[in-house]
Amino acid sequence: MPRRMLLVLMIAFATGCAGQERQPPVATAPPVGETQAPTPPSAVPPVAAVPAAPDRTGSPRPDPATDPRGYLRWVRAQYARMEQYTLTFERTERRGLGFFKSMRGPEEIRCWYRREPFSIRMEWVDPEIKYGASSYVRGQFNDRVRFIPRHGLFGLPPTLTRVSLQTPVTWGEARYPVSDFGFERAVEKSLDVIRRAGDRGRLTYVGREAIPGLDARAHVLRIEVPAEFSDTPRAELLFHEQTDLLVVNRLFNGHGQPEATYRYRDVNPQVALHDADFLLDGETLESEVAAGSGPADEDS
């Protein structure tokens, strides 16, 4: 089997967003220093028990019912002050290659997020899913996404592989690159598509919706733009009415059919994450030095 075919075992990433941008992201940042073990995701409190982020801007919170755009800008500013957090991410999305695209999921994924340098580690919970774990730290390991599938080929142990940010998207294993993950980026992309659509776009407050597993309802904001501005011209963002955390992001195609649903829960911003929290099995901080070469780079 050609080594290229190993890519079909790669991780898939997704970020809830109003629409996929047409150009790949640019990622550059320096490496950072020493680390400690991560906080176990199973120990984090439920989302309703943790505020989204203290308002350090001094600006009043806009009412999402009367000023939905102002509210989106306000929550983006709050999320920008969430330097790190852990959460449980549930992903359901249409993906694949060409005519073989179909809805996949739901997948339950434990996530560790750090804003600077941008870092995201994911571990898939369901043992039946082919994905095992993945990690990305901007500027480290030759700016590659590293992943380990749950099982190796032909019964062999799984091996660590490195790929570019866009490779999972190119191979139909993800709708969006991992660099689009996080609360701040999801709202930022939503605001961007509204801005680009101008008078041809619409942002409306739908009301409040009960979400299974939450002890409160969520504010529902709907974005509608012409298809030329987004591959998902309709999106619905749901924000916890007490914490203002994004709890659900639903994306629809131009025919009104679901394209993706992303759910976020068990958010814990009271963590202290370091480099070691974003290492996979078998990796060390010293291994970064040699990360630019070797047989594990599948798409150099």
Residue pLDDT, tens place only, 124-151? 998 888 889 999 999 999 999 999 998 8
What is residue 99's predicted lDDT score, i.e. its pLDDT?
80
Q: Which domain holds residue 98?
A: 3-17+66-277
Do 240 and 249 meet the contact criterion of CB atoms below 8 Å apart? Answer: no
pLDDT exceeds 50 at position 167:
yes
Distance CA 32, CA 69 (A): 36
Helix ranges restricted to H, the chain: 68-79, 167-170, 183-197
Closest to 101 in 3D by CA, of 293, 257, 298: 257
* Burial classification of residue 286, based on how many CB atoms lie within 10 Å of its CB (0-12 exposed, 13-18 middle, 19 or more buried): exposed
48 falls within a domain: no
Cα angle 269, 73, 67 (rounded to 5 degrees) comes to: 120
pLDDT exceeds 70 at position 226:
yes
260 falls within a domain: yes
284 falls within a domain: no
Across residues 193-222, what is the average pLDDT? 94
Q: Residues 222, 223, 226, 231: is their CA dihedral positive or negative?
A: negative
Across residues 41-54, what is the average pLDDT? 39
What is residue 89's predicted lDDT score, i.e. its pLDDT?
96
Q: Round the average pLDDT of the chain to a whole number and report it.
A: 80
Tokens 């990690």, located at residue: 135
**pTM, to two decimals:** 0.78
Distance CA 209, CA 241 (A): 10
Measure the N-to-C terminal CA separation of the chain; round to a whole number of Å. 18
Q: Which of 58-67, 93-102, 195-204, 290-299 is most confident? A: 195-204
What is residue 63's predicted lDDT score, i.e. its pLDDT?
97
Say how many domains are in the chain: 1
56 falls within a domain: no
**CATH number for position 126:** 2.50.20.10
The count of residues in the chain is 300
Cα angle 21, 25, 31 (rounded to 5 degrees) comes to: 155
218 falls within a domain: yes
162 falls within a domain: yes
What is residue 291's predicted lDDT score, i.e. its pLDDT?
53
297 falls within a domain: no
What is residue 71's predicted lDDT score, i.e. its pLDDT?
98
